[in-house]
Amino acid sequence: MKIELLTPAQARARQAAGAVLIDVREVHERAQGQAEGALGIERAALEAAPQTHLPDLSREVLLICQSGARSLAAAQALLERGYLRVASVEGGTTRWIADGLPLVMPLVDAEQARFAERYSRHLLLPEVGPAGQQRLRDARVLIVGAGGLGSPAAYYLAAAGVGRLRIADDDVVERSNLQRQILHGEDRIGQPKVSSAAQTLQALNPDIAIDAVAARVTADNVEALLDGVDVVIDGADNFATRYLLNDACVRQARPLVYGAVQRFEGQVSVFDAGRRRGQVPCYRCLFPAPPPPALAPNCAQAGVLGVLPGVIGLLQATEAIKLLLGLGESLAGRLLGFDALGMRFHELALPPDPDCPVCGAAAP
């Protein structure tokens, strides 16, 4: 069925005759003025649950946005959901104003308007929308390490609106960190990394909370660090910490987003054996024991291309957001490798080890 396109004047006449006019723009857009008599319902919310707002499928519905594109897309979505009389206003609110038709200034809560403006690009995604953004706001993520991997991961999680970030690191900022650890700056050399990280992240997004834990992850504190979190980001630089995190995540059924870098190569995966035991592996399934030090030198010994942790940390943040929202397919059961010199990704299947002492069939 073809969607009817109306001029603002035609929409105004239909509205007077009983049609419902809906402004599908975001809250902060409508705060600048909306068509008189229009209902304000964000496109994502309308498409997610149209019958909540429009229980009568036969009622005439007119949709308006800023210029006409979003209202046309929303109209198509309503037609596909069984609505019989749907039209879109050509030129949207911009043309409504140009044609001299009446506007109103809706009362908008300042905090709600700021929230809608900050996350407007997320809210436009039906897969996220207001409900998904609220899930991110309610989420808690533990980031172990405020260095090369933790910096980009934390930065993008903060930007995405994850409500509480717990960052654990016992190190201080050094000048050699600044080539890759983007949370820190020259003026913070000598400061605890978690304090520097918190300062940067709060400046980016003052609406989130940062728990800065200036401590190394140990057997004595790992359980407390995981308490109440939804996802764990592994930005550690040593095997002892990785094993501690893995084992605790299996025990507490927390997904662990793993990342590692060396020289020009990196890898990322998700270890979710605590929630999916027997279906996907844990970190010990991949590395039952640490490799010899000669085969796994750290960045201080082998060096690392400065941008490489940014790539891997960004992928870790992506996996964390997907896990929090329940979107897409995670890297659980897959190891994604990245070769920066060849600019190639490669993937390796990771089956669970049935004899793994942590997540295997005989494990406690």
pLDDT in tens, 132-175: 999 999 999 999 999 999 999 999 999 999 999 999 999 999 99
The yes-or-no answer on residue 299 being catalytic is yes
> Which is more confident, 32 or 80?
80
φ, ψ for residue 292, nearest 5 deg: -55, 145
pTM beyond 0.85: no
Inform me whether the pLDDT recorded for 299 exceeds 80. Answer: no
Structure tokens at 32: 């600048």
CB-CB contact of 139 with 162 (8 Å): yes
Q: How far apart are CA 337 and CA 190, in angstroms?
A: 34
What SS3 state is found at 135? helix
**Residue 195: HSE in the Cβ half-sphere, 13 Å Cα cutoff:** 11
- Give the angle subtended at the CA of 146 by the CAs of 143 and 150, to the nearest 5°: 55
- Give the angle subtended at the CA of 293 by the CAs of 291 and 299, to the nearest 5°: 110
State percent of the chain over pLDDT 70.
98
Structure tokens at 141: 């993520």
Closest CA to 74 of 50, 49, 43, 51: 43
Closest CA to 43 of 5, 85, 92: 92
Inform me whether the pLDDT recorded for 25 exceeds 90. Answer: yes
CB-CB contact of 41 with 23 (8 Å): yes
Q: What is the mean pLDDT of residues 174-190?
A: 97
CB-CB contact of 249 with 305 (8 Å): no
- In the chain, beta strands by DSSP E: 4-6, 20-23, 34-35, 39-40, 61-64, 86-89, 103-104, 140-144, 164-168, 209-213, 231-234, 256-262, 265-271, 334-339, 344-349
Compute how many other C-beta atoms are within 10 angstroms of the C-beta atom of residue 339.
Answer: 12
Compute how many other C-beta atoms are within 10 angstroms of the C-beta atom of residue 214.
Answer: 15
Alpha carbon 299 to its chain's center: 28
Catalytic one of 282, 299, 356, 359: 299
Q: How far apart are CA 273 and CA 329, in angstroms?
A: 15
Band of residue 286 on the pLDDT scale cut at 50, 70, 90? very high
Q: Please list the helix, strand and coil fractions of the chain in percent, rounded to the nearest 5, in that order.
A: 40, 20, 40
In the sheet with 39-40, reading across from the earlier edge strand, the strands are 4-6, 86-89, 61-64, 20-23, 39-40
DSSP lists the bridge partners of residue 266 as 261, 338
Q: What average pLDDT does the chain have? A: 94
CB-CB contact of 212 with 197 (8 Å): yes
> Which is more confident, 338 or 107?
338
For residue 212, what are the contacts with CB-CB under 8 A and spacing of at least 6?
167, 192, 194, 195, 197, 198
CB-CB contact of 75 with 2 (8 Å): no
Q: How far apart are CA 63 and CA 84, in angstroms?
A: 14
Inform me whether the pLDDT recorded for 57 exceeds 70. Answer: yes
